[in-house]
């Protein structure tokens, strides 16, 4: 039986330019988790990681990304100049008994995937930067406080044992609509942004699927993770508990900030975010509005001061129209879902698709969009998908890999024009020709508009 499934051992952030004098090494530690570790242990771990990074830099122009030991896996990430983020996880092990009757641990390093953890670490920085700003732009005393306030709850909700290829993709699931319904959504967004010049960008979701996006793909990934991972589940729980509707004229209301806008003090609850960070656009105000199952994120110009009157006008203007469109989309999705069985058939081939250009993904392997372990194939097969992805450079722009795994699983990975398609087939006594014929059928039915070059 495997113990301590890839649990977090330590997480810390340090600045390599600080604490250079002897006895002041503690100054370079900006954040350390868990906090109950003694100072000497913190200094030792940070110093060891810094030494490894500097030592490996003399052999390569690329930064050291990970260190593998029998008991731990250490992941290094330099998100900004002079700043380093380090994640240390425990390697899963099995407790066994030797012939002499002595108990020992057999460690399974193959259960820890470096590329997945690297993506988790990079995503943590992107989330902090989105909501708080760059490390280098925050004064050091304030930075330590902000890091503590942000990462303590963030790390506690990490579900490392269930992190997989979806964490590498950081993809967004799109909702396909008929032309008329999509046109109505587009017209509503254009009408809102034309009517309220303060709103610069908008993103439209139905449940946890994207319909319209007006921000960059990098920002979209962060917004999607925030909505799907924390905000929407909490909101749906409130709705299921029968939270009373504030507005009797429609079903719309602000869910971020929660409770909406009723007095001047509510304006201080608006979340400030940093959109298009690399282009130095600056700060925007993020307000999120929801009606039925439709959720719209509005990014308001950070150079203005939002008022209660503006928010009340947005509510009165958006609420009725969003309620109507959400109802129509719900009817369409209801008709389509009624004609499709939701029962998971183990014999049916499963697939994952990811488009790096618009960060769109689709998966019949994952039964939800969160890291919950709710998958329709064996977890070891899903690890093979991440392994193929980590070796994607060998496929260059176009290529294909076919492999045979245990329990009669076949895995096929195809790459074309920054698009990736992975097919998982469980078929007893199948041969390579039969698998390729099945893959061709799936590509013809699922990827009609995507051309995969022959190998």
pLDDT of residue 391: 82
Would you give the end-to-end CA distance of the chain in angstroms? 41
pLDDT of residue 290: 94
Per-residue pLDDT of 378-415, as tens digits, reads: 888 999 999 988 887 667 778 888 999 888 899 999 88
Average pLDDT for the chain: 87
Q: What is the CA radius of gyration of the chain?
A: 24
- 105 Cα distance to chain centroid: 33
Residue 244 confidence (pLDDT) above 70: no
Domains and CATH numbers, the chain: 2-163 (3.30.450.70), 179-338 (3.30.450.30), 350-446 (3.30.450)
257 close to 268: Cβ distance less than 8 angstroms: no
Averaged pLDDT for residues 326-339: 80
Residue 215 DSSP symbol: S
Per-residue pLDDT of 83-117, as tens digits, reads: 999 999 999 988 888 888 888 888 888 889 999 99
**Better pLDDT: 123 or 158:** 123
| % of the chain with per-residue pLDDT over 70 | 91
Residue 19 confidence (pLDDT) above 90: no
Averaged pLDDT for residues 154-179: 92
Band of residue 209 on the pLDDT scale cut at 50, 70, 90: very high
Report how far residue 192's alpha carbon sits from residue 109's, in angstroms, rounded to the nearest whole number.
Answer: 52
381 close to 375: Cβ distance less than 8 angstroms: no
pTM: 0.89
pLDDT of residue 247: 57
Averaged pLDDT for residues 119-129: 96
Neighbours of 140 (CB within 10 A): 12
How far, in Å, are 275, 320, 346, 444 from residue 365 at the CA level?
32, 37, 10, 19
* Torsion angles phi and psi, residue 253, rounded to 5: -165, 160
Report how far residue 6's alpha carbon sits from residue 72's, in angstroms, rounded to the nearest whole number.
Answer: 9
294 close to 204: Cβ distance less than 8 angstroms: yes
Residue 78 in tokens: 């330099």
């Amino acid at each position: 039986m495997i113990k301590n499934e890839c649990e977090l051992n330590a997480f810390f952030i340090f600045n390599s330019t600080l604490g250079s004098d002897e006895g002041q090494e503690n100054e370079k530690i900006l954040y350390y988790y868990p906090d109950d570790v003694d100072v000497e242990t913190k200094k030792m771990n940070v110093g060891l990681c810094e030494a490894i990074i500097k030592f490996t830099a003399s052999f390569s122009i690329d930064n050291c990304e990970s260190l593998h030991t029998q008991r731990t896996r250490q992941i290094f990430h330099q998100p900004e100049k002079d700043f380093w983020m380090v994640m240390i996880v425990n390697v899963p092990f099995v407790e066994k008994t030797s012939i002499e009757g002595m108990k020992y641990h057999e460690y399974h390093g193959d259960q820890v995937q470096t590329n997945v953890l690297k993506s988790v670490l990079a995503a943590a920085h992107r989330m902090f930067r989105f909501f708080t700003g760059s490390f280098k732009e925050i004064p050091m005393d304030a930075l330590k406080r902000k890091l503590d306030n942000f990462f303590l709850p963030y790390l506690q909700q990490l579900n490392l044992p269930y992190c997989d290829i979806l964490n590498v993709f950081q993809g967004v699931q799109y909702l396909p609509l008929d032309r008329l319904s999509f046109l109505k959504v587009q017209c509503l967004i254009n009408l809102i942004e034309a009517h309220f010049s303060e709103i610069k960008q908008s993103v439209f979701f139905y449940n946890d699927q994207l319909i319209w996006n007006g921000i960059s793909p990098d920002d979209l990934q962060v917004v999607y993770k925030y909505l799907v991972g924390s905000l929407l589940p909490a909101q749906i729980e409130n709705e299921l508990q029968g939270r009373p509707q504030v507005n009797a004229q429609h079903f719309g209301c602000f869910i971020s900030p929660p409770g909406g806008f009723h007095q001047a003090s509510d304006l201080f609850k608006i979340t400030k975010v940093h959109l298009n960070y690399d282009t130095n656009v600056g700060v925007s105000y993020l307000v999120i509005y929801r009606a039925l199952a439709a959720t719209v994120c509005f990014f308001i110009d950070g150079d203005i001061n939002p008022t209660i009157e503006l928010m009340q006008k947005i509510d009165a203007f958006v609420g009725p129209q969003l309620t109507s469109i959400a109802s129509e989309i719900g009817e369409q999705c209801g008709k389509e879902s009624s004609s499709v069985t939701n029962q998971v058939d183990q014999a049916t081939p499963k697939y994952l698709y990811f488009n790096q250009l618009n960060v769109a993904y689709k998966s019949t392997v994952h039964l939800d969009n969160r890291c919950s372990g709710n998958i329709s194939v064996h977890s070891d097969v899903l690890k093979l998908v991440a392994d193929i992805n980590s070796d994607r450079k060998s496929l260059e722009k176009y290529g294909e890999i076919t492999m045979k795994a245990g329990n009669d699983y076949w895995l096929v990975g195809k790459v074309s024009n920054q698009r990736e398609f992975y097919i998982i087939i469980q078929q007893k006594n199948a041969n390579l020709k039969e698998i390729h014929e099945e893959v061709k059928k799936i590509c013809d039915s699922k990827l009609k508009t995507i051309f995969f070059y022959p190998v």
